[in-house]
């Protein structure tokens, strides 16, 4: 088995130039969610050349696709993302904030690396299956619109991930380790209030203010915060204040809400209470309202069985080997951080990976170690549509260092490093780890059986998609 894994790693290294070029192309395209046409086409064409059967337009989304190779079980999937973020235009490999002239967007979450690293893993596993003649199926899922659009949630709603024995994925990060934490489920909706316009001075008694209703709803939800579980989060933004004329009673106003909680059922419960606050605000102001559901995310359920396999192979593969030029760039990038940013990074590592991990990262500008799994239960204070995949199939996820320690996500500093050799080295490490883990599952199907038992126990209530049927992807 060691020979097979060594061969897989060598094959990935031999294609380093190819994968670097693909990730750089996607970085240059910097396409927003559901508009990643060139990025998706590049990945699809590569899969087809490698012998994968490609199916496009999954869940009615033009840039959602899958590439399949092999037959029989186990059936293993690897997830890829490739969408960028708006307002993060930045030149690559520099420590100075400098926008590109050709686009306003940028890969501030490293999805150019994510999609390509997963592609590299899938191709390497295809080569293993082809060479060994063993039964099994490898699937690469091209998952669009993660940043704003809940692409995987729409795909999960259509059952794209049902029947898989194991799902592996990764994310560019500033450390190396297992994504062992759960994430927050997130339910989103816009509340639109309808009142009656009137002259605010001459006849205010004839008016019914929709803006008053929005403000009262916000006050009510702010009081609600004290009476939900501490891990929950309630966010809002006024999207329509009813106009700029103070002397007109606002006829229409709207506010956007998100309810987050560690488990999906908890998020739904809090969301129902928010709806009751909205109903009360309408009653108090003599207005009516409509609630329009938006996108959403389920909480991520990390599968410990798959996590163990990933970590065993991560320890074997080792951390990315950064060179002097990488350290030099990372040091310069680090100089752009405030002291508070560095402290926040240390706190985040301690929360997700334990005290020993925080101490191990002290003084390091690039992570050159693989952090141990934190035995404590913790929840990532954010949301991801990988959570919806984890409600349909056993899912394991790793993090690899693709940026200087302390680099904030969705920042120009991350965009710069996502287009540099730092990011690409982390990308290739992720490909090796996921590919090696897949070999273990193919050679020992009992791993998949054990992962399925754990999965069945974790999702006893089944999958309740946080996006209702009437909501379609914002294409």
Write down the pLDDT at residue 376.
66
Determine the pLDDT at residue 185: 95
In order of start, what are the domains of the chain with their CATH numbers?
Answer: 2-183+299-458 (3.40.630.10), 185-295 (3.30.70.360)
Distances (CA, A) of 221 to 56, 267, 275, 282, 384: 42, 14, 10, 14, 24
Q: How far is CA 212 from CA 254, 287, 344, 395, 421, in A?
A: 11, 9, 38, 45, 53
Per-residue pLDDT, 1:
55
DSSP summary character for residue 98: -
Strand order in the sheet with 65-71: 53-56, 65-71, 136-143, 75-81, 166-173, 395-401, 177-178
pLDDT tens string 414-456: 999 999 999 999 999 999 999 999 999 999 999 999 999 999 9
Which bin fits 74, alpha (ψ -120 to 50), beta or left (φ > 0)?
beta
Low-confidence ranges of the chain (pLDDT < 70): 1-2, 375-377
If residue 296 lies in a helix (H) or strand (E), which one and from where to where?
Answer: strand 288-297
pLDDT at 349: 84
Distance CA 111, CA 155 (A): 18
Strands 185-194 and 252-261: what pairing? antiparallel
Give the C-alpha separation, 27 to 408, whole Å: 18
- For the whole model, what pTM was predicted? 0.92
Report the 10 Å Cβ neighbour count for 335.
10
């Amino acid at each position: 088995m060691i020979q097979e894994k060594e061969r897989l790693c060598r094959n990935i290294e031999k294609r380093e130039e190819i994968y670097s070029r693909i990730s750089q192309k996607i970085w240059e395209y910097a396409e927003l969610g559901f508009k990643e046409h060139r990025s998706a086409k590049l990945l699809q064409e590569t899969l087809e050349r490698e012998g994968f059967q490609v199916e496009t337009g999954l869940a009615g989304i033009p840039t959602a696709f899958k590439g399949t190779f092999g037959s029989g079980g186990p059936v293993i999937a690897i997830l890829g993302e490739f969408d960028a973020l708006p307002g993060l235009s930045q030149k690559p490999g520099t420590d100075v904030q400098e926008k590109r002239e050709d686009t306003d967007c940028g890969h501030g979450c490293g999805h150019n690396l994510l999609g390509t690293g997963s592609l590299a893993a899938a191709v390497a596993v295809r080569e293993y299956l082809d060479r060994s003649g063993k039964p099994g199926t490898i699937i690469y899922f091209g998952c669009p619109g993660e940043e704003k659009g809940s692409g995987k949630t729409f795909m999960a709603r259509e059952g794209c991930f049902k029947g898989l024995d194991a799902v592996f994925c990764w994310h560019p990060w500033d450390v190396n380790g297992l994504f062992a934490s759960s994430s927050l489920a997130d339910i989103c909706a816009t509340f639109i209030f309808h009142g009656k316009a009137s002259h605010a001075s001459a006849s205010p008694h004839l008016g019914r203010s929709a803006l008053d209703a929005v403000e009262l709803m916000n006050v009510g939800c702010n009081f609600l915060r004290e009476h939900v579980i501490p891990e929950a989060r309630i966010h809002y933004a006024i999207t329509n204040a009813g106009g700029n004329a103070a002397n007109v009673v606002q006829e229409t106003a709207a506010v956007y809400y998100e309810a987050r909680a560690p488990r999906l059922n908890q998020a739904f419960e809090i969301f129902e209470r928010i709806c009751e606050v909205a109903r009360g605000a309408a009653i108090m102001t003599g207005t009516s309202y409509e609630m329009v559901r938006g996108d959403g995310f389920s909480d991520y359920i990390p599968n410990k069985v798959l996590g163990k396999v990933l970590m065993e192979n991560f320890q074997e593969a080792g951390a990315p080997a950064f060179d002097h030029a990488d350290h030099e760039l990372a040091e310069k990038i680090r100089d752009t951080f405030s002291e508070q940013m560095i402290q926040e990074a240390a706190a985040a590592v301690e929360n997700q990976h334990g005290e020993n991990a925080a101490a191990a990262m002290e003084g390091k500008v690039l992570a050159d170690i693989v952090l141990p799994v934190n035995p404590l239960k913790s929840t990532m204070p954010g949301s991801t549509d990988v959570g919806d995949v984890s409600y349909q199939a056993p899912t394991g996820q790793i993090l690899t260092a693709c940026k200087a320690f302390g680099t904030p996500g969705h920042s120009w500093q991350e965009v710069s490093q996502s287009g540099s050799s730092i990011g690409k080295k982390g990308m290739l490490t992720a490909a090796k780890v996921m590919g090696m883990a897949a070999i273990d599952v193919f050679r020992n199907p009992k791993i998949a059986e054990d992962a399925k038992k754990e999965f069945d126990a974790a999702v006893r209530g089944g999958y309740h998609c946080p996006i209702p049927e009437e909501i379609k992807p914002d294409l």
